[in-house]
Every structure is written in structure tokens, then in C-alpha cells.
Structure 1
Amino acid sequence: MRQRWSDVGFLHWAIDPAAVAHLYPPGVRPDVIDGRTYVGLVPFRMVGAGFAHGPGVPWAGTFLEANVRLYSVDERGRRGVLFLSLDTDRAVIVAGARTVFGLPYRWARMRYRAEGGVHRYAARLRWPGATAESRIGLRPGAPAPDGELERFLTARWGLHVAHLGRTLHVRNAHPPWPLRTAEVTELDDGLVASVGLGHLVSGPPDHVLFSDGVPVSFGTPTRVR
């Protein structure tokens, strides 16, 4: 599967790994840097998602998404992302990804616009048992440093997911992120709280980045446990 992630915001809060260790599937644990792990809030535009080398799927292959994520490493040392939620405005994507891959997609009403140098993302859940909204404004700045923390938060090369009683790792490949610093011009978010982590991210984010985007491809899932 291939796609392009465009106009990507990265908002991160440093947290105690012990506070989220219970959320990881068997065979996977929190990945840490300097004794801390991070919860991420990542809004972006998905563009031209499709299969193999074919064209992007019309309409359904381009959509808005915002995900809440943790950072993971498995027993074989493979690093990745553990998604707690993935919210999108395409109901067909929600149904397909939950059924086929076990990913925690949720349907939401979403908007994106870029004007005056500010990228604005908005989401409102349309999901049973969950009520949350999010508004984010980011003003990208200069190129970001190529530091250890920046690589830890963005160069993950895979995801971990629990599905049908198994823990899976799915590799991805993409060029290095063209990262920029970013100023938060607006942040009123309920998505992180909607997955039970609101008490861990009560203040402003500890780290913020923006990227114009990269093309991405995904490999075949392999079993962790």
C-alpha cells in the first residue's frame, strides 16, 4: 500500500513510560529517550492512497486524518508507532481499516485550510460513545534541527497493532521527513482526552514540528506474538 502524508503537524508531550505501559499489546513496550516516552497528536492530509504501483483510489484515497499515538519497540528491537486513535472523515476507511487491520479508526467531521502562513485543522467525532472536538493552528518556521529527539519522534519505520489475538508489526518506508519548527497559534484539543490520556497532557506541547510531507509505502504485516 502506498500514499502521501501531506501538511503534517507533530505535537508531542513527554510522559512517564510507566503511565502508559498497560496500553501496549503483548511483546511490545514503550520506546524511550532520556527516560521518557511521548504521546503524539498528529493531524495531516492523506493524499492518493492506493495499492502497489496503481493509481490512488478515487475519492476514498484522499482524506483528512488526526491520530493520537504512542511510541513502541518490540522484542526484536523493531521500533514503531502504537495508535490509540485514528480519526478521519471517510467512513469507508474507518470500516475497512478496523476490519482488515484492527486499527482503531473513528469517523469524524474534519476540516483543513491553510491561509496567512497558518495551517488549521479541526475535527469533531461522529463515533458512538465518544464525544470530542479538536482545533489546531500551526505556523511553520525554519528548518528543524536533525536531532536525536526529532528522529525519535518521526523516523519510526513501522507500526504495532493487536489484531485477532496477535501482535503485528507493519513496516513502512519513506524519505527523511523535511521537518520545520512550528509555532502553535491555536490548540483546543479533546482527542487525546478521548483515549484516556487527558490527565497526562494538560499543558502546552513539549515539542512541535511541521512537515510539507513525504510519500509512504507499507509492507506486509509480520507477527510479533
Structure 2
Amino acid sequence: MKEPIKTILHTVDHRPWSIPNHSWFWYQEWNDAIFLHYQVDGKRLRELVPRHLELDQFDGEHWVSVVAFTMDKVHPRFTFPIEFLSTFHEVNLRTYVTRDGKPGVYFLSIEAEKILPTLFARLASGLPYKHSPISRTNKTYSVHGKRCEIGIDFLTKDKIDSPTPKELWLTERYSLYRGKNPDETAMDVHHKPWELFQVEFMKLNLRYAAYDGLGNFGNPNVCHYSPGVQVLAWL
């Protein structure tokens, strides 16, 4: 069930800092999300992340995550979604960074299903969007792109009623960094906490050619499924 915007804006106890004091600009939904989390080598990761961003760590460990989901109902405030632009499948490879003590995510790559939304998202956000053929059903995900090959077939299992500190550290992130400008500030986002479920994989084939040696993408250390979140984003 979709929540009213007012309810989302007033659900803030889980956030590590206050939401921005000016109006949000974007509405979007991140639905049917698969999270694959990998512990990786910090030295190799440092080569891939701009130096003005500090690598975030959990108990001294460095992590990257592959997140596959459907982006839905994307539109600016006071407008409405347009189906062929506002809904598309996406897969991103992200890592965890901080700047001036504010934790967030940095995207190593983002694959998107449709050409026009890919171009628009890259121009509007400055994030590394690239078009790739993506197909999915409720429980499968397939990507055949220049940067990655992914095949996922999974079952949703029990709900995780009490996520561990590591699971929360990996999923509850409320700022994005583009990494292009040493003077950049974070792009803030807000949503209610992720509802997480355990998953069982019937098939998991995953390869990022550009990131060989970063980690074993065939064997995630932690994984989750979530039905999704409604997201508000600020410029």
C-alpha cells in the first residue's frame, strides 16, 4: 500500500540526520529490489573511488553492493509520471563512502533498461547511467550489457524482523555522491526503512568485466529482497 507523502516525510526516527529544510524535487519508487553485498579489497576499491570521498567501513571491512530493482513513477514535484520515461529496470554497482562525516553511496556503474530514461537520468543526476538490455519477471533478472552480465533466479523467504547493524549499514543510506567535483555536496534522499526478506537463489551468475579482482561476484556475503520503498529526493 502506497503511503501519503506527508506520512513519509514525518517518518524520520530511522535517519542519521534531519531531512533538508527545503522542498523535495523528485518522487520515485524503487520496487522489487534484490541486494547482493560483497566484502572487497580496500586497496583495489580505493583505485576506483575519487580521492575526495573517504571509503566507509563496517568493522574495518570494505563493501560493494549490486542492487537490481524496478525504478517506477519517477517524476518531479507538481508533475505526474509518464510511463515510457518513468518506469524502467535498473541495476547498479555501488560502494560506501563518507564526506565531511556524512555517509552515503558512490556508484561505480548504473545499467538502465530504456534508452530515453537512461539519457535523461544521466543528464539530470550526473550519475553514471548507461543503457543495457534488461529483462525481468517477478523472480528472475537478466542483464546483458557492456559492463556486466547478470542472471538471477530467486525465491523470497522469511521476513527479517530485526536487521543486524551490518544489514542496516548496507541498506539504510540517505545521500548519494557523484564524485566529479571535490567541492560537491551530497544529493539527499529520504524513504521509510527498507522491509527486508531472506532470499534463496536458484541461479546466480554475475560478472562485471571492468571490476575483475574486486570481489567474488558469484558468492555474495549478504543478500536481501525488498518489495521496495517510496523515495523523495532533493537537488
Decide: shared fold, TM above 0.5: yes
Structure 2 residue matching 1:56: 3-state secondary structure: coil
Partner of 1:223: none
Residue 59 of structure 1: how far off its partner (Å): 1.4
Is 1:210 the counterpart of 2:222? The answer is: no
Task: Give the conservation status (yes or no) of the 8 Å contact 1:66–1:87.
Answer: yes
- Which residue among 113, 135, 140 is the counterpart of 2:151? 135
Structure 2 residue matching 1:94: 3-state secondary structure: helix
Partner of 1:155: 172
Task: Give the conservation status (yes or no) of the 8 Å contact 1:44–1:66.
Answer: yes
Structure 2 residue matching 1:149: 3-state secondary structure: helix
Give the TM-score normalised by the residue count of structure 2: 0.83
Cα distance in structure 2, aligned partners of 1:100 and 1:48: 16
Residue 78 of structure 1: how far off its partner (Å): 1.0
Structure 2 residue matching 1:98: 3-state secondary structure: helix
Task: Give the conservation status (yes or no) of the 8 Å contact 2:38–2:217.
Answer: no
Partner of 2:4: none
Residue 21 of structure 1: how far off its partner (Å): 1.4
Unaligned runs of 5+ in 2: 1-25
Task: Give the conservation status (yes or no) of the 8 Å contact 1:182–1:210.
Answer: yes
Structure 2 residue matching 1:182: 3-state secondary structure: strand
Cα distance in structure 2, aligned partners of 1:198 and 1:54: 44
Residue 156 of structure 1: how far off its partner (Å): 0.6
Q: Which amino acid letter does the alignment assign opposite residue 122 of structure 2?
A: R
> Judging changes above 3 Å, is the alpha-carbon distance between structure 1 residues 168 and 20 closer, same or farther for their aligned structure 2 residues?
same
- Which residue among 123, 136, 154 is the counterpart of 1:112? 136
Q: Which protein has the bigger strand share? A: 1
Residue 202 of structure 1: how far off its partner (Å): 5.0
Unaligned runs of 5+ in 1: 221-225
Structure 2 residue matching 1:162: 3-state secondary structure: coil
Partner of 1:89: 113
- Give aligned pairs, total: 209
Q: Which amino acid letter does the alignment assign opposite residue 148 of structure 1?
A: P
Task: Give the conservation status (yes or no) of the 8 Å contact 1:17–1:32.
Answer: no
Partner of 2:82: 57
> Judging changes above 3 Å, is the alpha-carbon distance between structure 1 residues 24 and 4 closer, same or farther for their aligned structure 2 residues?
same
Residue 95 of structure 1: how far off its partner (Å): 1.6
1:30-88 Cα distance to aligned partner (Å, 9 max, x none):
111011021111110111111014322331100000111111111x2111111111111
Identical columns (%):
26
